[in-house]
Structure 1
Amino acid sequence: MPEHSSGLALGGSASSEHDLTVVYLTRTGLLEPLGQSQVFAYLQALASNFRIVLVTCEKKADFADRAKVDAARLSCRQIGIEWKPLPFEQGPRSISILRQLFQFAATVRREHKRGKVIVHARSYLPALAGLAMFKRYDIPFVFDMRALWPEELILARRLKRGSLVHKGLVSLERQCLMNGETVSLTKAAADHLEKQYPIALAGRQIHVIPTCADLSAFTPKIEPGDQLIFGCNGTVLSGWFRLDLLARSFNALADAFPSARLQIVTRDDHAEVKRRLAEEGCQVEKVEIFEAAPEEMPAIVQKQTASMMFFKGGLAKLGSCPTKLGEILGCGRPVISNRGIEEVYRIITDNRVGVEFVESEPATFIQSLTRLLADESLSGRCRQTAEQTFSLERGVGSYRKIYRHVSSVRNLAKQAT
């Protein structure tokens, strides 16, 4: 039976670590907020132990901002990360994906010729490149799956179950689990994978590393003002976000507290978000939608009364744990959510750091939230939960031990010959 591990108990020597190159492959852009919080934040700490080559896919609008690009290059150079940005392909899907996979593989092959290499593949398509390099050159790779992507695509109605593409992704998932060092965001997803692939995972270990937040930036410094500001941060047009519940929960809040405002911080199309909310009957005249840079987010969250997140449920979300949950709790702010993602529901209810919105019980929701906000120990409890669950330092330590483990159990010396 596969074992679940936080990564903290792995062995392996720390000696000569800078002789080991970690090629980190991701389709997330370094210039995106997610790239800053969930890629760069880890790698800037890991770069003190390993040589890091970071390959990202940058969207055209982001890469057109030369000041942002120059700042990212400088940040990487100062800590020794070699950043190799690729364009995020927008052409015909099959062609663009093949081109990106070729570029990923070419970078890995180039670094393999220089010396000892492992690949860290963030999500499924980069993992395909990692798997190909493992099959061809015996280069070990970390399958950092992030979520159950095939199921998420089905939930968002972007993929049909049983289609050729779906079967291909399931086959890829099985091969990566069988041949890579797997990292899952949640134990629930690890348990599901264990039942789904008992043969592929026989005798193998799944490392559970929750999404982490930079709790040195997201701190409870500012007390919210008299006005009630309810925040919703991140994408809401993903296909698995429940805009209907966002609209209805805010309407309940606005009816109970007429001065309440909804603040949506997102890179989604603002006009489309407002249009969709209006279709759901939301009081859009009380809604503010804007975009913010990653460094601006701590101050924004600190000023919010509470933050809201609602997701579709089911198998697809077993492997999800939103980054913003740790950031919100780190600022001492509570969360309003549904039961779509069991991990989110478990964290906010077990630690009493949020309330559940049940559509049929708006009065109960308002009463529960009012009691929670009146609790003087709420901010400290939120912060403590964040430190216990979402610590970036703990996540970095887990990845560091996984890299050491992979390099110790594989004969990397023969790569350089």
Structure 2
Amino acid sequence: MSTVRGRAVLYLTYDGLTDPLGQSQVLPYLIGCAEAGHRITIVSFEKPDRFAAGAGQVRALCAAHGMDWHPQPFRSSPPVLSKLIDQRAMARAAMRLAPGNEMIHARSYVAAVAGLRAAQKHRLPLLFDMRGFWPDQRREGGRWRDDSLLGRQLFQSWKRKERKLVEGSAHLVVLTKAAKQEVARWDSYRDVPISVVPCCADFSLFTVSTAEQKQAVRARLGIPAEAPVLCHLGSLGTVYLEDDLLRLFDTLAKKRSDARLLLIGRHDRAALLAKAAALGLDIADEQLVIAAANRPDVPALVGAADVGACLITPTYSSLGVSATKHAEYLACGLPVIANRGIGDAEAIIARTSGHVLVDTTQASLDEAVARFDALAAEQRGEVRERARPLLDLPAAIRAYDAIYARPDRAVEVAPW
């Protein structure tokens, strides 16, 4: 893929390669770049239980692709202090491994702080892969609360670090065009290239189910063959509009009593039904279908649904959000209902399939439900093929390969 000789890249991430996120959103990209001829050295932080279970497989993958992996232990206690210890360990590893590399690629803020120091020390360009606006996400999600002295101090400290990272980086990568436009307005921005690489899906894993496969999974889950099924993939919580997801489904169920809400992941049924009741919603126990699965089994569960939901709390930091579940729904051929103000979701829906909630008023939910049957009737193969150039894993790999080859040029996977 690369048009010039491969680069020697030091890749820093605070996520573990044995974690589910590392398996889906880090390792495949690095393998693709290694196959393109780049020489990758990796520093990651691994949770003890996951490392014990998965280190052998990751080591084999790294060895097979000529990647040099330097796993570090992820510490969770004591609180706060453990993170400072990890940050120092990251900084030491970056300093030690930087010589002999041609650039440093840091995934998100914690890694980038260590990467910047090593880059300045060894006169290497830093690629700051921001992902999202992490300090703002922590604050808006309630991790760093305004009514807590420690929370305020952590937020202010990381915003200062953010400024230094943006000022000191040779190349920035964000997940959305909306985030690129925002960063370009910051006082700390120094007119370096800003590339846009969204969270992509592995289209070789997430595929369109046949009619027979769809009905087999429905039968196993106890879902009626012709029921309209709204799906949410992954966790729920502060980032997601859980109440509005329940309200959206309740609106669908009032129209079709056989409707089902399929939640893929580990969820507390009793808590969700209690919340629905507290909201005044009439969601019956049998209408709520919860299915936990290992990653290889997730696509078949998604394929049992008709439409995917991606309702995220709209905040300042949501400008930088690219939901992996959005790409995974589309890879399985499912249209997506998403709300306005979340990264590039509207532009993606305009080019693939789905419906944008203008807001979460009852009128907007009614409008979405009115379109449900038409969305469910779309040809899944066509939805998938419209999404592939935008959100398939090779598109992101080609983008990173191009950035490594020519870090002085910005790359955009998205055509909008």
The alignment's TM-score, normalised by the length of structure 2, stands at 0.84
Contact 1:235 1:268 survives alignment (8 Å) = yes
Contact 1:118 1:407 survives alignment (8 Å) = no
Partner of 1:414: none
Deviation for aligned residue 1:270: 7.0
Partner of 2:412: none
Equivalent residue letter for 2:181: D
Between the aligned partners of 2:22 and 2:231, the Cα distance in structure 1 is: 21
Within the alignment, does 1:24 sit opposite 2:25 as a pair? no
Equivalent of residue 72 in structure 1, options 27, 51, 58? 58
Contact 1:30 1:39 survives alignment (8 Å) = yes
SS of the residue 2:320 aligns to: coil
Equivalent of residue 368 in structure 1, options 352, 366, 371? 371
Between the aligned partners of 2:160 and 2:185, the Cα distance in structure 1 is: 16
Between the aligned partners of 2:51 and 2:274, the Cα distance in structure 1 is: 29
Within the alignment, does 1:168 sit opposite 2:157 as a pair? yes
| Stretch moving more, 269-278 or 41-50 | 269-278
- Write the deviation string for residues 342-366 of structure 1: whole angstroms up to 9, x where unpaired: 5213322454434537431243322
Q: For the aligned residues, what is the CA RMSD?
A: 2.7
- Write the deviation string for residues 93-129 of structure 1: whole angstroms up to 9, x where unpaired: 432222212222222223234x224221111111111
Deviation for aligned residue 1:310: 0.9
Instruction: Show the 5 A alignment for 1:299-314.
Output: 299-314=300-315
Between the aligned partners of 1:75 and 1:270, the Cα distance in structure 2 is: 38
Between the aligned partners of 2:76 and 2:292, the Cα distance in structure 1 is: 22
SS of the residue 1:85 aligns to: strand
Between the aligned partners of 2:29 and 2:376, the Cα distance in structure 1 is: 33
Instruction: Show the 5 A alignment for 1:221-260.
Output: 221-223=209-211, 224-225=214-215, 226=225, 227-237=227-237, 239-260=238-259
- Write the deviation string for residues 62-81 of structure 1: whole angstroms up to 9, x where unpaired: 335x2x33333323322223
Between the aligned partners of 2:50 and 2:256, the Cα distance in structure 1 is: 38
Contact 1:211 1:322 survives alignment (8 Å) = yes
Equivalent of residue 192 in structure 1, options 173, 182, 185? 182
The verdict on how the C-alpha distance between 1:273 and 1:118 changes in structure 2, with shifts beyond 3 A counting, is farther
Within the alignment, does 1:331 sit opposite 2:332 as a pair? yes
Instruction: Show the 5 A alignment for 1:394-413.
Output: 394-406=395-407
Between the aligned partners of 2:74 and 2:14, the Cα distance in structure 1 is: 7
Contact 1:183 1:209 survives alignment (8 Å) = yes
Between the aligned partners of 1:266 and 1:54, the Cα distance in structure 2 is: 29
Contact 1:111 1:117 survives alignment (8 Å) = no
User: What are structure 2's unaligned runs of at least 5 residues?
Assistant: 216-224, 410-416
Aligned identity (percent) is 30
Deviation for aligned residue 1:300: 2.0
| Stretch moving more, 101-110 or 316-325 | 101-110
SS of the residue 2:362 aligns to: coil
SS of the residue 1:145 aligns to: strand
- Write the deviation string for residues 213-241 of structure 1: whole angstroms up to 9, x where unpaired: 2122222242343343322112212x221
Contact 2:319 2:341 survives alignment (8 Å) = no
Equivalent of residue 92 in structure 1, options 78, 93, 101? 78
User: What are structure 1's unaligned runs of at least 5 residues?
Assistant: 1-7, 409-417
Instruction: Show the 5 A alignment for 1:283-322.
Output: 283=283, 285=285, 286-322=287-323
Between the aligned partners of 1:369 and 1:355, the Cα distance in structure 2 is: 12
Instruction: Show the 5 A alignment for 1:113-152.
Output: 113=99, 115-152=100-137
Within the alignment, does 1:38 sit opposite 2:40 as a pair? no
Deviation for aligned residue 1:404: 2.1
The verdict on how the C-alpha distance between 1:342 and 1:44 changes in structure 2, with shifts beyond 3 A counting, is closer
The verdict on how the C-alpha distance between 1:106 and 1:268 changes in structure 2, with shifts beyond 3 A counting, is farther
Between the aligned partners of 1:80 and 1:275, the Cα distance in structure 2 is: 52
SS of the residue 2:103 aligns to: strand
The alignment's TM-score, normalised by the length of structure 1, stands at 0.84
Contact 1:348 1:354 survives alignment (8 Å) = yes
The verdict on how the C-alpha distance between 1:202 and 1:23 changes in structure 2, with shifts beyond 3 A counting, is closer
The verdict on how the C-alpha distance between 1:206 and 1:91 changes in structure 2, with shifts beyond 3 A counting, is same
Within the alignment, does 1:206 sit opposite 2:194 as a pair? yes
Contact 2:104 2:125 survives alignment (8 Å) = yes
Contact 1:105 1:130 survives alignment (8 Å) = yes
- Greater relative contact order, per chain length (Cα 8 Å cut-off, separation 6+): 1
The verdict on how the C-alpha distance between 1:86 and 1:230 changes in structure 2, with shifts beyond 3 A counting, is farther
Partner of 1:384: 385
- Write the deviation string for residues 1-43 of structure 1: whole angstroms up to 9, x where unpaired: xxxxxxx9xxx9622x2xx432222222223332122101111
Partner of 1:413: none
